[in-house]
Structure 1
Amino acid sequence: MADLEQLKTRTRADYRYILEYRTRWSDNDMYAHMNNSIYNHLYDSVLNAYLIEHCGFDLNTSPQHSRVVHSHNDYFAPISFPACAELALRVNRIGNSSVTYEIALFEKGQEAVKSVGEFVQVFVTRETGRPSPQGMEPNMRRGLERILVKSIPSKL
């Protein structure tokens, strides 16, 4: 993942897929901004929406399903009800059976990023719950490659 200062400069153009979410009154906490747990819920929703829409993933019948093995989030500014959030998704790395996502949350009509998170997901076979020796399904890999952002290695 990029360093914190770099994450604070993210724009919508840094991402390949955006999903809108209308905040709800119940998303706010006692401090009148969206509760931290809601961010993870939304991040999980945007990446699964992408998998279903663009990777042929079916929650009930796909031969593989996924497990989130790592997640974290950096918060830069609050968002609260009533607002429309824009969840921006990209893939930073694809492994044999794992994928590292970066998800940003923007507020519609505002340029500055509100938060940036990371999820690492491992695709496992339904029968064993373990990663397949063949890796993730080809349709899944192709769909994820569409939103893969290849970083340029820094020169020392």
Structure 2
Amino acid sequence: MPDRATRDAYRRFVAIPTRWMDNDIYGHLNNVVHYSLFDTAVNRTLIEAGLLDIDGGAIIGLVVESGCRYHASLAFPDVVQAGLRVGKLGRSSVRYEIGLFRGDEPLAAAEGHFVHVHVDRGSRRPVELPADWRAFFEGLV
């Protein structure tokens, strides 16, 4: 099994409480919930930074790739600390890398990524990242 990331591998953290319904019949978070946690961590970060306006912003991010490696179980009532960093920054794309940590544990329970291509909301055509977006993402590299 690949090495598990530690907290210091990530630039920013978002706390996300798990929910009762997140557990599956085996008593841990269902694998699809991890992807929801990734999405929540990234979009909450973008909203809090003032970059993403989900109701009317001209630019939105479309997920074009995702993946996850599972190392250890997470389960309700864990509070997950989602560590976030940018692995690659393109002209219109960003590869987010996310580590999911149970509470204050030092090793990631899961590590994943997804790639956003930023597009014009109306045309859905790729757009170059604005300077303020790029500066924010560079701080997460």
| Counterpart mapping for 1:8-87 below 5 A | 8=4, 10-87=5-82
Tell me by how many angstroms 1:127 deviates. Answer: 2.1
Task: Write the deviation string for residues 88-136 of structure 1: whole angstroms up to 9, x where unpaired.
Answer: 100011000000010000001322210000101100011210102xx11
Q: Sequence identity, in percent?
A: 35
Tell me by how many angstroms 1:53 deviates. Answer: 1.3
Residue 118 (structure 2) aligns with = 123
TM-score w.r.t. length of structure 2: 0.94
| Corresponding position: 1:139 with 2:132 | yes
Secondary structure of 1:96's aligned partner: coil
Secondary structure of 2:60's aligned partner: strand
Q: Hey, what's the Cα distance between the residues in 1 that align with 2:51 and 2:79?
A: 27
The one-letter amino acid of 1:141's match is R
The one-letter amino acid of 1:29's match is D
* Aligned residues: CA RMSD: 1.2
- 4+ aligned runs moved over 4 Å, structure 1: none
Q: Gaps (5+ residues) in structure 2?
A: none
Tell me by how many angstroms 1:44 deviates. Answer: 0.3
Q: Is the Cα contact below 8 Å between 1:34 and 1:80 reproduced in 2?
A: yes
TM-score w.r.t. length of structure 1: 0.86
Q: Is the Cα contact below 8 Å between 1:21 and 1:87 reproduced in 2?
A: yes
| Corresponding position: 1:102 with 2:111 | no
Residue 2 (structure 2) aligns with = 5
Q: Gaps (5+ residues) in structure 1?
A: 149-156
Q: Is the Cα contact below 8 Å between 1:64 and 1:137 reproduced in 2?
A: no
Q: Hey, what's the Cα distance between the residues in 1 that align with 2:104 and 2:47?
A: 27
The one-letter amino acid of 1:53's match is E
Q: Is the Cα contact below 8 Å between 1:55 and 1:144 reproduced in 2?
A: no
Q: Hey, what's the Cα distance between the residues in 1 that align with 2:19 and 2:56?
A: 31
Larger radius of gyration, structure 1 or 2? Answer: 1
